[in-house]
Amino acid sequence: MDRDLYPHLPHSGVTMTTEQTHEEATHQHGMSNAGYVKIALILAAITALEVSTYYIDFGPFFMPSLMIMMVVKFVMVVSYFMHLKFDNKIFSWLFYAGLFLAIGVYVAFLSTFKFFIA
């Protein structure tokens, strides 16, 4: 049966309850709504920490800590909110290929202008 033509029909003719539906959806995506809220709270806390670096002197840890927090937030949103962690790896390859290509190209670009030496 073409499921694109009959998207409203359940799998294998089995009738599903709302609870089953929710459980399956949670299982398939790897997270419940409460899980998403927890991720959002963690992201908010990291953002608060990031902003604190503007007011508090972190000394030599300033730049590394900011970079780490930025990367952690980026990966958390991409992995959990965009479901890359739970989805087919091809999607991850497509996205991260573009991302790392961009990082490589522009690090080379900035190096050409001696950005990192300055």
Partner 1 sequence: MADTALHTEHHTSTGLSNVKLGMWLFLGSECLLFGGLISTYMLYRGRVGEGPTPSQVFDIPFTSVSSFVLLMSSLTMVLAVSAANQKDDRGTTLWLTITALLGATFVGGQVYEFTAFYNEGLGFTTSLFASSFYVLTGFHGVHVTVGIIMLMSLVGILKRSKVPGSKSETVEMIGLYWHFVDVVWIVIFTLIYLIPV
Residues at the contact surface with partner 1, assessed by CB under 8 A: 2-4, 7-8, 10-11, 16, 18, 21-22, 24-25, 28-29, 33, 36-37, 39-40, 43-44, 47, 50-51, 53-54, 63, 66-67, 69-70, 73-74, 77-78, 80-83, 87-88, 90-91, 94-99, 101-103, 105-106, 109-110, 113, 115
Half-sphere exposure in the Cβ direction for 30 (13 Å, CA): 11
Minimum CB separation from partner 1 for residue 102, in Å? 4
Minimum CB separation from partner 1 for residue 56, in Å? 12
Minimum CB separation from partner 1 for residue 29, in Å? 7
Cβ-contact 70, 49 below 8 angstroms: no
Minimum CB separation from partner 1 for residue 58, in Å? 11
Q: How far is CA 15 from CA 6, 10, 35, 57, 111, in A?
A: 15, 6, 27, 60, 60
100 in helix, strand or coil? Answer: helix
Neighbours of 62 (CB within 10 A): 13
Tell me the C-alpha distance between 58 and 41, whole Å.
Answer: 23
